[in-house]
Amino acid sequence: MAYKYRLSKEQKRKLIVKDFKKNWAIYLIVLPIIIYYLMFEYIPMYGVQIAFQDYRPALGFGKNWVGFKHFERFFTSPYFWRLFKNAFLINWFELIFSFPVPIIIALLFNELKSKTFKNVANTFIYLPHFITMVVVCSMVKEFVSADGFIGQMVASVTGVEKSLLLQSQYFRTVYIASGVWQGAGWGSIIYVAALQGVDTQLYDAASVDGAGRWQQMWHVTLPAIAPTIILKFILELGSMFSTGSQKILLLYNEAIYDTADVIGTYVHRYGMQSGQYSYSTAVGLFSNLINVSMFISANQISKKVANISLW
Amino acid sequence: MKIKEPISYKLFKACSYLLLSAFALACLYPFWYVLVYSLSDGILVLSNTGVLFWPKGFSLAAYEKVFADKYIWSGFKNTLICLLIGVPLGVTMNSLGGYFMSQKDLYWKKYIMWYFVATMYISGGTIPLYHSMRMYGMTGNLSVVCVFGCVAFFNMVIMRTAFDGIPESLSESAKMDGANHITILIKVLIPLVKGTFAVIAMYRAVAIWSTWYWASVTILDKKKLPLQSVIRNMFDSSGFGEEIEIAQTKEYATLVVSTLPILVAYPFLQKYFTKGVLVGSVKG
């Protein structure tokens, strides 16, 4: 509803009463959803206050205010830079190695005509997406262990007979390679969908103008999926310092904290395992702030540069 | 008019087939390896180096071990219970939300939408969420698996998109006949968007099937853990207290057994998930 003029208080009140009389049933319908968001989003937000307190579960909220003590402890912690460096490097290498793979897969599929081949190949390459993270990580752990087939192959080159997940220099490779295996095929769907929308007349027109297949790919196919690529790219840039911690929790161990530990896993260890609730909440809050501002600025930049934005 | 393809393009096409086939096989091979390993003889296979294409020896001992493991059975049972409760809950909630979003001329709609959207940018984080759940009594039991995540903004948008595609006259005429919102939703709208409804159900089913974190963190009683948490525990403390020759193949057999349900459901999953991605990407 758009109003051309400001309503007086009285008019507004009447409008609200009228709206409620007419639509109360719809508000009743959405009530469970509102309660859900209250329970799992807004009440936890209220709980963030413990980042500024020395919280003890027995005492409850609102006591022992300590200001920024926990933030200071985190900023001066020797792990502060390591956590950001690890998250950044994982994201950076993902951007270089994982990001292009679905695009390449979609482009290759686009060149092929055989429907049967496409269907069979799709069935295979989508499959890993549906395997649960726990099972994937368990498989990875077995494969790269000292007697797993990948671990053995690497050992035959390096001579170090040890699980790759016990050697910190391999963690990122294992993490990213397993990510490509699990997600690249599935990730190609949106690009394939974007390519299906391309008017075939464009290709005909291009070939009449003398464009070869390569030029067609460059001048017709790529521009067609460029908005999708840019949109995905913005999302990646915006989450440069955030990594899903669940996969790392399943893969890592004490021996490789120096490359594998990120904010999420650090919060998990200090909060859920050692019970340092206030400190870990402060760490989580700080990383949330970083991530939101990264996300907003990535969107802002792309709005300026490419005129594409998420909202 | 048929233009003859130049040789370079033919080469390129052949490379495309080759690369895609290689990637497809690479996607499949790990599953084959796990299956073959689990069927191998526990001692013989330990001496194996490198890749494996057929079982070394043949033994079902690992599977006997898996089926004798009480935690795997209780894991299956617990996950099944969560699915039976969580999937209906999820589709109900997301349908209600989608129905609300598809309504027009509501004074509070704008504010309620903001109330939903804001949570995508700000959140309390893991620890405050944990404290809230403890306050609701959701820690230490399976309710966290059933309830947490049953509403998702993205899923509500998918339902809304489906409802928006139905001519308004249908629900208008039902309203004339005295139908209330719930009747319209159940009798008129949902039968027309069965496909989308199934997409949401699949999303919830896969999410519940996969979840492990909150259960692993909060449930101490091992008999109450869902399947994924059981597997996680097994691989975390791999091999302790078991004869080494069977431990390895048992782990592989566990992976096979726990992935089987997904493989059985895979044709449906592939169909509906693909559909879900496309609906979602159209709406942005």
CA distance A206 to A200: 10
**What does the pLDDT read at residue B281?**
56
**pLDDT at residue A298 tops 70:** yes
Alpha carbons within 13 A on the beta-carbon side of A223: 9
- Report the range of poorest mean pLDDT among A7-11, B127-131, B167-171: A7-11
How far, CA to CA in Å, does A61 sit from each of A58, A72, A272, B74, B128?
Answer: 9, 21, 18, 38, 11
Q: Cβ contact (<8 Å) for B24 and A121?
A: yes
CA distance B90 to B100: 15
Across A166-192, average pLDDT: 92
Residues of A in contact with B126 (CB under 8 A): 264, 267-268, 271-272, 280, 284
pLDDT in tens, B194-207: 888 998 999 999 99
**What does the pLDDT read at residue B1?**
47
Task: Give the angle subtended at the CA of B166 by the CAs of B161 and B170, to the nearest 5°.
Answer: 145
**pLDDT at residue A145 tops 90:** no
Tokens for B10?
């033919």
CA distance B261 to B72: 14
Measuring CA to CA, which residue among A62, A39, A60 is closest to residue A49? A62
Under DSSP, the state recorded for A31 is H
**What does the pLDDT read at residue A309?**
66
CA distance A10 to A70: 48
Residues 236 through 295 of chain A touching chain B, CB cutoff 8 Å = 246, 249-250, 264, 267-268, 271-272, 277, 280-281, 284-285, 288, 292, 295
Query: Residue A10: what residue type?
Result: E
DSSP code per residue over B101-156: HH--S-TTHHHHHHHHHGGGT----HHHHHHHHHHTT-TTSTHHHHHTTS--HHHH
Under DSSP, the state recorded for A255 is G
How far, CA to CA in Å, does B155 sit from each of B93, B145, B179, B279?
Answer: 10, 18, 26, 10
Q: Cβ contact (<8 Å) for B127 and A147?
A: no
**Per-residue b or e along B245-269, where b marks 16 or more CB atoms closer than 10 Å to that residue's CB:** ebbbbbbbbbbbbbbeebeebbeeb
Q: Choose the closest CB to B213 out of A120, A181, A246.
A: A246
Residues of B in contact with A105 (CB under 8 A): 20, 23
Q: Choose the closest CB to A149 out of B16, B51, B210.
A: B51
Across B87-103, average pLDDT: 94
Q: Say yes or no: B51 contacts chain A, CB-CB below 8 A.
A: yes
Across B212-239, average pLDDT: 87
Residues of B in contact with A183 (CB under 8 A): none
Q: Cβ contact (<8 Å) for B151 and A36?
A: yes
CB neighbour list of residue B105: distance below 8 Å, 6 or more residues apart: A1
Residues of A in contact with B235 (CB under 8 A): 137-138, 141-142
B117: nearest CA in chain A? Answer: A37
Confidence of residue A267 (pLDDT cuts 50, 70, 90): very high
Measuring CA to CA, which residue among B126, B93, B151, B240 is closest to residue A283? B126
Under DSSP, the state recorded for B51 is -
Across B44-69, average pLDDT: 82
Task: Give the angle subtended at the CA of B31 by the CAs of A193 and B252, to the nearest 5°.
Answer: 145
Q: Cβ contact (<8 Å) for A105 and B181?
A: no
CB neighbour list of residue B92: distance below 8 Å, 6 or more residues apart: none
Confidence of residue B239 (pLDDT cuts 50, 70, 90): very low
Residue B5 near residue A94, CB atoms below 8 Å: no
**pLDDT at residue B82 tops 90:** yes
Residue A221 near residue A139, CB atoms below 8 Å: no
Q: Please give the mean pLDDT across all residues of chain B.
A: 87
Confidence of residue B51 (pLDDT cuts 50, 70, 90): confident
Residue B108 near residue A30, CB atoms below 8 Å: no
A108: nearest CA in chain B? Answer: B16
Pick the more confident residue, B56 or B214: B214
- Report the range of poorest mean pLDDT among A71-80, A109-118, B123-132, B141-150: A109-118
Q: What are phi and psi of A284, to 5 degrees?
A: -60, -40
Residue B236 near residue B119, CB atoms below 8 Å: no
Residue A130 near residue B27, CB atoms below 8 Å: no
CA distance A195 to A106: 8
CA distance B118 to B110: 12
Q: What are phi and psi of A65, to 5 degrees?
A: -70, 135
CA distance B277 to A193: 9
**What does the pLDDT read at residue A310?**
61
Computed on alpha carbons and rounded to an integer, the radius of gyration of chain A in Å comes to 26
- Which value does ipTM take for this structure? 0.89
Pairs of CB atoms within 8 A across A/B: 232
**What does the pLDDT read at residue B9?**
76
Q: Cβ contact (<8 Å) for B17 and A112?
A: yes
Any alpha helices (H) in chain A, and if so which ranges? Answer: 9-37, 43-47, 69-75, 80-93, 100-111, 115-126, 133-144, 149-158, 171-196, 200-208, 213-216, 222-238, 245-251, 257-260, 263-267, 277-306
**What does the pLDDT read at residue A311?**
60
Residue A154 near residue A167, CB atoms below 8 Å: no
Q: Please give the mean pLDDT across all residues of chain A.
A: 88
CA distance A165 to A174: 8
Most confident among A30-34, A167-171, A205-209, B188-192 (mean pLDDT):
A30-34
Tokens for A14?
């009447």
Residues 247 through 276 of chain B touching chain A, CB cutoff 8 Å = 248, 251-252, 255, 258-259, 262, 266, 269-270, 273-274
Confidence of residue B132 (pLDDT cuts 50, 70, 90): very high
Q: Choose the closest CB to A44 out of B23, B124, B181.
A: B124
Alpha carbons within 13 A on the beta-carbon side of B30: 26
Across A258-268, average pLDDT: 92
Task: Give the angle subtended at the CA of A30 by the CAs of A27 and A35, to the nearest 5°.
Answer: 115
Measuring CA to CA, which residue among A96, A178, A311 is closest to residue B121? A311
Q: Tokens 């208080």 belong to which residue? A: A9
Q: Cβ contact (<8 Å) for B112 and A25?
A: no
| pTM for this model (two decimals) | 0.89
- Residue A104: how many other CB atoms lie within 10 Å: 16
Tokens for B194?
């069965």
Tokens for A230?
């840019």
**pLDDT at residue B274 tops 90:** no
**What does the pLDDT read at residue A250?**
92
Measuring CA to CA, which residue among A154, A151, A163, A168 is closest to residue A86? A168
